[in-house]
Amino acid sequence: MRDAKLREIDERAFLRRLDPMLDVYGAAMDPPPEQLPGRRTIMERHTAYPAFRAFVAERRGALARLPGPLHGFTYGFHGARGQWWHDVVFEALAARGGPEHAATWLNDAFEVAELHVRPDAQGRGLGRGLLTALCAGRPERTVVLSTLERRPDTPARRLYRSVGMVDLLTDFEFPGGGPRYAVMGGTLPLAAPLATGAPPQ
């Protein structure tokens, strides 16, 4: 969106924006309302993970330095043993292709924890802009994430494939039940977007 600006924020600014970020998360993911407090706790905890990095897409307020409505956000961090997602996915990848396969993807990985854009702001390049900004200049060798399975041609899956990411796990259920996910990974830096004919995300 032309009126939305991408901006990197630190941990304190991230925590101050938790409520509007959860609003974006809820609009994009449509989770049961009772899940949002737990998601908030997880996001708070993630700010203490190593090499945390976050970006928001927001419309500037009438006063130049005041943030306006939040259109989207993303964040990630360096994956490491002892982190729940990292350990669950490492075990699943090792079961699928052996410990070396899992290590190839996760021993030096940047983990994209969340990337969401409000539905009314999608299709205008914000998701791609957020992902590109988040991964730019990262020192890790790989980037990994999980995305709702739903179907193989969702806008999110097309976006991730367009920058060189591939499916590592499909139809994957994390411990505790819930929806199925695809786990995807790619090498850094991200590949130049492929021309797919699909609208930008």
Active-site hit among 25, 49, 160, 181: 160
Distance set, CA 81 to CA 77, 88, 128, 162, 172 (Å): 13, 10, 28, 29, 20
Structure token pair of residue 50: 């190593």
Yes or no: say if 71 and 57 are a contact pair by the CB < 8 Å rule.
yes
First to last CA, the chain: 11
Structure token pair of residue 153: 């041609």
Yes or no: say if 74 and 114 are a contact pair by the CB < 8 Å rule.
yes
187, β-bridge pairs: 142
Q: What is the CA radius of gyration of the chain?
A: 16
Angle between helices 155-162 and 126-135 (to 10 degrees): 40
83: Cα separation from own chain's centroid: 16
If we measure between CA atoms, which residue out of 126, 155, 156 comes closest to residue 6? 126
Active site residue 160: yes
**Contacts with 107 (C-beta within 8 Å, 6 or more apart), sequence order:** none
- Residues with catalytic roles: 160
